[in-house]
Amino acid sequence: MTIEWSAEASEFHLRNDRISYVMRVLERGWLGHLYFGSALAGARSYAHLVPGEFFDFSNRVGAPISLEYPTGGSGDFRVPALAVELSDGSGVLDLRYSAHRIIPGKPAIPGLPSTYVEVGGEAETLEVTLADAVAQLEVKLLYTIYRDRPVVVRGARIVNTGKAPLILRCAMSASLDLPDSEWQLIALSGDWARERYVVRQEIRPGRQSVSSLRGASSSQHNPFIALARPATTEAAGEAIGVCLAYSGNFLAETEVESFGTARVRAGINPEGFSWLLEPGGEFATPEVVLAFSAAGLDELSQTYHDLLRERMARGSWRDKPRPIVINNWEATYFDFDEPKLLAIATAARKMGIEMFVLDDGWFGRRDDDFSSLGDWKVNTAKLPGGIESVARKVEALGMGFGIWIEPEMVSRRSDLFAEHPQWAIGIPSRPRTEHRNQYVLDMSRPEVVDHLFDALSAILGSAPISYVKWDMNRYITEPFSTSLPAWRQGEFFHRYILGVYALYDRLTKAFPGILFESCAGGGARFDAGMLAFAPQAWTSDDTDAVERLKIQWGTSMVYPLSSMAAHVSAVPNHQVGRMTPLQTRAAVAFFGAFGYELDPTKLSVEEIAEITQQVAFYKKWRELFQRGRFHRLVSPFEGDRNVVAWMTVADDACSAIVGHYNILNRPNSGPTRLKLRGLDPSASYRVSTWSAVAGDQDESTRPIVLGGDVLMAAGLVIDGERLSPSQGDFRARVYVLEST
């Protein structure tokens, strides 16, 4: 890995064995973009890649040049990376190179989540300073390249070097100008209970974007896009990933202009955003991880999985095996007391489950979702001995104990709202909109963050709590903070998320032994920024196995299996009413941080036996399910969508597990072949089918030994007639491969 600077050619070349990122200081001093892609040789100039240097929009000739951090108003009519309002009301900028430095490692971003380094020589950072002498403004562009990862992590810091305040109207984390627009845009979009579906479409002249204005990254769109060549598949072809480490209002956008070039930008959503920068003030953008793959979407995802798991997630749980959870939400909703909880925990423990998580309803007077958010004191009507009593009893069963919290919220019927109505977000002259019967606390106020830290620390310190599920069940309306002056209201959304990060930071530091799981009405804040504090997230409220195939497939485009909490729930499923076999529900949920979301006291003897086997199987292969290399094989978003398959492979390729799912059964179906990936072609694998269903392990499922080469080139034969006891719709098969 190197960052080369050639003073003669005025070129920067960030390179490792897998990628190169080349920039050049153009004759006018602008920082031009030359190349991002597969590794190029060092010590050479690539200036020829951008033959014309100047815009010449006056006579409408000449393709626009590629710039690293473009601004508007002086000839570049594409979307800008930076837009400001200066003290005279003008907004034109002309940013020119002024200095650069190369720093070992990677600096943190104050108040914001960021990737990091742990060992010397792991990464290097280039900081290029651009300046506008008239506006008296500096932009420091940061580029980190890791030695062993095909990523460039970018961000920007904007400094007011003048004597008058200025207003930032748009401050993107990165802008990337690509020389052609032969790309398709891949985004992860959906809604509650159908988060992160893969949407892939041509990029067309003009602008296409995904974004959030909801105060959270949202379930509607995810702060990640990829550009893939039309022919790019999972296994082959070029793809560029753009992953923003941010949990608030974001924008990720492409613009194709008339010469067919494409600009990509990502960062805080400029819509409704402004930031007053006083003289001497500095504004740091969130960071964006640009990744490149010449070998398809699979490799792009591996890059993100490794980076987010190893160098975004942090803390004591980063590398630890995640416990198998039983969560009482769908078992009881608000209707529970200590005996009921202990009965659930006891039954779960007998099946080998390791962590009991007490969900919503344990505090205040919360018997429904109309009250008590903000009153983080135990509901003694339900739990007379407090959290401590139930936690200690669960601990005595040999399980960990966790609780649900929703720190950012307040109910109208709560002591907190009665005491501090002004802490709820809202505009004094307007009514506040309630969603799920609750308001959002103004996390931009430091005193709110302080209060929550104290209240939650008291609870977390009062009992042996080793797991916290941090929920956020509504988006923000009437965005406004009574603590900010009129001219700073455009800062509200960003300050809100900075407050959330500050609280996360303080709580995770104060309770380093607790495993935090983020959640937002299901998976509405599943983003790279959250992973810096909570190494796993509740993937979706939709636990139906068929729906989860799509949700987990889409989520896996960026986020590692260890971050995806996936639970088996009861049937009929509470979200879609579907009946699926228990085997299938587990076969889907295995590929993530596994658990159960049902009442184990209501199970039949057969179901108890089956779950006991599922738990034992997951424990045996936990490392593979949580940290294996995940390969998507047959997509729920392409083809006839009736079959889905994926697999996870150990780093040393000695073992692998394949999940194969038939949505609807097809009569008289013949054998098919499923081409596997990631195996050692020279190894021989013992292939066995696994099932916890009594009677499924019949003669026809006896292990066979097959070469990694044939499994990848010809495929694993999936026999349509096998596994008779579980035939029917929604059938799943799990194959275990072990090298001999």
- Per CB under 6 A, which region of 40-48, 109-117, 207-215, 518-526 contacts ligand DGJ? 518-526
**What are phi and psi for residue 587, nearest 5 degrees?**
-60, -25
Nearer to ligand DGJ, 292 or 329 (CB): 329
Per 3-state DSSP, the chain is made up of helix, strand and coil in percentages (nearest 5) of 20, 35, 45
522 makes contact with ligand DGJ (CB under 6 A): yes
Quote the tokens at residue 609: 């036996």
- 3-state SS class at 331: helix
The residue count for binding ligand DGJ (CB under 6 A) is: 11
Candidates 240-248, 482-490, 516-524, 586-594; binding stretch for ligand DGJ (CB under 6 A): 516-524
Q: Which of 471, 527, 542, 544 binds ligand DGJ (CB under 6 A)?
A: 471
Q: Is residue 190 near ligand DGJ by the rule CB under 6 A?
A: no
From residue 306, how far is each of 144, 266, 619, 650 by CA, in Å?
A: 16, 22, 22, 13
* Residue 595 near ligand DGJ by CB under 6 A: no
Beta bridge partners, 26, equal none
3-state secondary structure of 310: helix
DSSP, collapsed to helix, strand or coil, labels residue 679 as coil
The C-alpha atoms of residue 250 and residue 273 are separated, in whole angstroms, by 10
DSSP 498: H
Task: Note whether 473 binds ligand DGJ by CB under 6 A.
Answer: yes
What minimum distance in Å lies between the beta carbon of 192 and ligand DGJ? 9
Q: Is 541 in the site for ligand DGJ (CB under 6 A)?
A: yes
Instruction: List 468's β-bridge partners, or say none.
Output: 403, 516
| Stretch of residues binding ligand DGJ (CB under 6 A), selected from 235-243, 451-459, 519-527, 676-684 | 519-527
Tokens coding 487 = 């001219």
Could you say whether residue 375 binds ligand DGJ (CB under 6 A)?
no
Contact in structure between 219 and 521 (CB atoms under 8 Å): yes
Binder to ligand DGJ among 323, 364, 521, 708 (CB under 6 A)?
Answer: 521
- Tell me the C-alpha to C-alpha distance, in Å, between residue 283 and each of 90, 243, 248, 494: 20, 20, 16, 11
* Furthest-apart CA atoms within the chain: distance in Å: 83
Determine, following the binding rule CB under 6 A, whether residue 400 of this chain makes contact with ligand DGJ: no
Question: Shortest approach of ligand DGJ to residue 521 CB, angstroms?
Answer: 5
Contact 497, 248 (CB under 8 A): yes
Is 97 a binder of ligand DGJ (CB under 6 A)? no
Options 46-54, 480-488, 515-523, 658-666: segment touching ligand DGJ (CB under 6 A)? 515-523
CA distance 183 to 238: 9
Question: Judged by CB under 6 A, which stretch of 56-64, 94-102, 390-398, 514-522 contacts ligand DGJ?
Answer: 514-522
**Stretch of 25-33, 92-100, 205-213, 517-525 contacting ligand DGJ, by CB under 6 A:** 517-525
- Catalytic annotation on 360? no
Q: Map the footprint of ligand DGJ across residues 625-654, applying CB under 6 A.
A: none
CA gap 90, 295 in Å, rounded: 46
Identify which of 245, 465, 473 has the alpha carbon closest to the alpha carbon of residue 358: 465
CB neighbour burial string for 276-311, b if at least 16 within 10 angstroms, e if fewer: bbeeeeebbbbbbbbbbbbbbbbbbbbbbbbbbbbb
Q: Which of 177, 360, 471, 527 is catalytic?
A: 471
Nearer CB in complex with ligand DGJ: 173/473: 473
Applying CB under 6 A, which of residues 363, 376, 404, 559 lies at the interface with ligand DGJ?
Answer: 404
470 touching ligand DGJ, by CB under 6 A: no
What span, in angstroms and rounded, lies between the C-alpha atoms of 137 and 129? Answer: 10
Query: Contact between 599 and ligand DGJ (CB under 6 A)?
Result: no
299 or 471, CB closer to ligand DGJ?
471
From its phi and psi, is residue 10 left (phi > 0), alpha (psi between -120 and 50) or beta? left
| Closer by beta carbon to ligand DGJ, 5 or else 370 | 370
What are the backbone dihedrals phi and psi of residue 202, each rounded to the nearest 5 degrees, phi first? -60, 145
Q: How many whole angstroms separate alpha carbon 341 and alpha carbon 335?
A: 10
**Phi, psi angles (nearest 5°) of residue 456:** -75, -35
Q: Which of 298, 541, 544, 599 is catalytic?
A: 541
Q: Which one of residues 172, 519, 565, 603 is an interface residue with ligand DGJ (CB under 6 A)?
A: 519
Closest contact distance (angstroms) between CB of 538 and ligand DGJ is 5
User: Where in 33-52 is the site for ligand DGJ (CB under 6 A)?
Assistant: none
- One symbol per residue from 315 to 354: x for binding ligand DGJ (CB under 6 A), - otherwise; what is it? --------------x-------------------------
- Minimum CB distance to ligand DGJ, residue 524 (Å): 9
Cα dihedral sign for 579, 584, 302, 617?
A: positive
**471 is annotated as an active-site residue:** yes
* Interacting residues toward ligand DGJ by CB under 6 A: 329, 359-360, 404, 471, 473, 519, 521-522, 538, 541
For the annotated catalytic residues, the residue numbers are 471, 541
